Structure 1
Amino acid sequence: CLVSELDQPALAGMVQELAKVPYLDTVLISLDHADEAGFQRARAYFAALRRRTVVLWNDGPTVRQVRDEIESRGTPLSEPGKGRAVWMAFGYVLAENRARAVALHDGDVVGYKRSLLANLVSPILHSSLDFDFCKAYYARATTRLHGRATRLLVRPLLQALGDVVGRHPFLSYLAAFRYPLAGEIALNADLLRLLRIPGDWGLEVGLLFEVLRHRSARRICQANVASLFEHKHQPLSPLDPTQGLHRMAVDIVKHVLRTLAASGVMLQEGLFKGLRVAYQRYAEDAVSDSFAVATFNGLEFDRHAEEETLETFSRALAEGCQQFQEDPLGTPPLPNWARVISAFPEVGPRLIAAVQELGGVVEP
């Protein structure tokens, strides 16, 4: 959660709904971009949850000290961002050892209902089911279709890779998810110590691969958590690949390519030209399909905006392919907590003490 999201009505609605959930043990907020005043404001803001709440102030001095010590013991960490915020939250949950299952939410869900959480965690907690990981999916529409990155990048990219690489288990696995970029997931707490976390916009795709490394596909599921879903939209940033949806698209492309390479697929230079041509065809078909869906359902459709998005994603594909060729390994993911604990056995108690010293644990 960014401290700026405290000013948004979406987060206030989420707090109101989560306050009504009877089965939550703890709500943990991994707070980024906050100074002392922002942290104190967050503590007061989340008191409305009326339950045990942990505000993990990632910029707090005692938390920074723990993070610096982790790095000093040979486990380099990424720059601040969503990936590192999630990673810090995983570490704290492991340290407390209170949770059986953990659910992740973005802090910008508009019209949030507590049924979303119930639908997300039920496959993990139900005594008759054997799932360890659940990914949310939902319809992305208001008066128009949303979900641009899924509709116009991920699905056409997977189709194009299937053409140039051939049938591959990872491509089939990713294609099975209706909304692979959803930030809402639930997982068994046992997984928290095993997963490496990408530090960039490839978080959602990277986590899917990490889960598959440690669990059979039969223990991974997806759930329809809401009839409609809306959250903050990233700006397209068509001319700047370091910002907005453009940057996200570049990172997604690199993560998919690196995952395929790690699976033993030989990605030779000539393949990338064929990939870009095949992607273009499938993406153009996706625009036509989206027009048909919008027309049938009486939704607005801005063809120029869709085509501009396609062109941006096409450039992002070229940029992602080039960056992958120049640096196939890329920035390493954040280490799993099993490695951190091995190098720094007292990290759990130290992290708990760091948060408590700041007053980050708020009891009802």
Structure 2
Amino acid sequence: MKSLTYLVLAALIVISCKTKTTSETSDTDAESLTLKEALQDKFLIGTALNIRQIQGYNPEEMEVVKGNFNSIVAENCMKSERLVPTQGNYDFSAADKFVAFGEEHDMVIHGHTLIWHSQTPRWFFKDSLGNEVTREELLSRMQNHINTVMTRYKGRIKTWDVVNEAVLDDGSLRKSKFYEIVGADFIKKAFEFAHQADPEAELYYNDYSTSVPEKREGIVKLVKSLQEQGVKIHGVGMQGHIGLDYPEIEEFEKSIVAFSDLGVKVSVTEFDITVLPSPWNNQGAEVSANFEYKKEMNPYADKLPDSVNTAFNARCLDFFKLFLKHEDKLDKITLWGVNDGNSWRNGWPIAGRTDYPLLFDRDNKPKEVVEAIIQAAKE
């Protein structure tokens, strides 16, 4: 009888040990997952790279990229003012390194951006005498630029932002130089030129403040118009430049659904969360806006208070839970920067501030919310 009791006790101990070991292993596996591993069956997780990173000056930041992201986009080096600052003189040195890095590490490479009213060199709209070019000449320059860039990376860059930020918050088209000289059909022409340059590439329209109802409807109207004309458009990019209290997450969700209902892919293309006060009520990302520095507009120059850090983590997790809810509609989520220190938010719309908008801190350490996102993905 005593022997039987010992056998039962031994068996219970073995079972208990096995159960504990399995549980501990499960917890360890969850903690060891990186962002890209946790999200691999959901959507791509990407980040934007700046010139210094591409040129190899910040190797520790590139380790974060290699470990956590499976998609990359160039923050600035593929914009026309960087690629071709003077007419006919292309400089692909940084862009080539950017693409090579993505290929070396088996990442999906996103091209940003072909046609944009901002960061376009002045010569693009002027003739040799300084006069405004004709519609025909600007269309020719657009086609030449799109063809030159896309054919260089044909088969290597699979997705492109063809037109960037052409719709205003009220839903109307921006009266940019492209619009003024060519007309509203500059958007149609840009997509046609892009499809001709690389018929296999996925072509996106990209914009900010897409959760504003009027702007959402304007973009839906634009995409429908292109589709009705037989123009190839494969996706809509939603820039995720948000704050702690804007936009309403419900409105952001409505836009994901509305764009997906068009039968195109949807990507969140430039995700970050500013914790700093805004100098104006606009929730957009108009890069030309700037304001004078004032100390009260830079409240966390030395350290982020625990209460604000908690609010950031909660806000970020809420959005990633939204993304996971709609994983069937979303192709990729891209952070606009690698760590807090190199985010554009530190200099816009007020230069010289200290912001904390990304998933990795200035020491390249993951914030608490990263583990929470990984756990949410597992659930």
Instruction: Tell me which interval the TM-score lies in, with the shorter structure as reference length.
Output: under 0.3
- The structure with the largest helix share of the pair is 1
Q: Larger C-alpha radius of gyration, 1 or 2?
A: 2
What is the TM-score normalised by the length of structure 2?
0.26
Higher relative contact order (CA 8 A, sep 6+): 1
What is the TM-score normalised by the length of structure 1?
0.27
